[in-house]
Amino acid sequence: SIYFIFLLVVSFTVLNLLVGVLVNVVAVVTAMEHEVRLVQKFKEELPGMMLLMDEDNNQEISKRDLKSMLFNPEACAALQAVGVDPVGLVDFTDFLFEDEDAVVPIDDLLDLLLQLRGSNAAMVKDLVDMRRLLVMEMHKLEMRLTS
C-alpha cells in the first residue's frame, strides 16, 4: 500500500517536472519569435527612412545622413523599439565614420545598429575585436609619435 502511494507521488512529481520544462520551452520559443518579428519590422521600416535621408541616392549612408536621420522622431522610435539608444548612437557616429566623407552601405549599417542593442550580451568575439582595435589605435599613435 505504501509502495503504491510512493509510486503515485513520484509519478506526479515527474509529471510536474515535465510540465515545467514544457512551459519553459514555450516561453523561450515565444521570446525568440518576438525578437525575430521585432528585427524583421526594424529591417523593413528603417531602410525606407534611411533612403529618405540619403541625399545622393547611392544606397550608402554618410555621417551627415545618419545624424539627420537621428533627428527624425519616427527613426528614433524605431531604434528604441529594437533596443538601440539613439542618444548613444549620436556619440557612436564619430567612431563609425572616422572620416567626414566616409560612407557605409545601408545593409551593413542595419546589421551594425542591431549589434548596438543594449540587450546583446558581450561575447568573446567582441572582446577580441576590442583588443584588435586598441592595438591598431596604439600602433597609429606610435607611428604619429615617431614621425
Instruction: Between 90 and 21, name the one with better pLDDT.
Output: 21
Q: What does the block give as the cell for 30?
A: 515565444
Tell me the pLDDT band of 11, cut-offs 50, 70 and 90.
very high
CA–CA distance, 89 with 105 (Å, rounded to integer): 17
- Average pLDDT of the residues in 83-110: 81
pLDDT of 41 reads 85
Higher pLDDT, 131 or 47: 131
Would you list the DSSP string of 95-119? HH-SSTT-EEEHHHHHHHHHHT-TT
Q: Is the pLDDT of residue 129 over 90?
A: no
Does residue 89 or residue 5 have the better pLDDT? Answer: 5
Average pLDDT taken over every residue of the chain: 85
Averaged pLDDT, 106-110? 83
Which has the closest alpha carbon to 93: 118, 69, 77? Answer: 69
Q: In the structure, what pLDDT confidence band is assigned to residue 7 with cuts at 50, 70 and 90?
A: very high
- pLDDT score recorded for residue 79: 85
**pLDDT value of position 54:** 67
Q: Name the more confident of 91 and 54.
A: 91
Q: Would you call 62 exposed, middle or buried from its count of C-beta atoms within 10 A (0-12, 13-18, 19+)?
A: buried
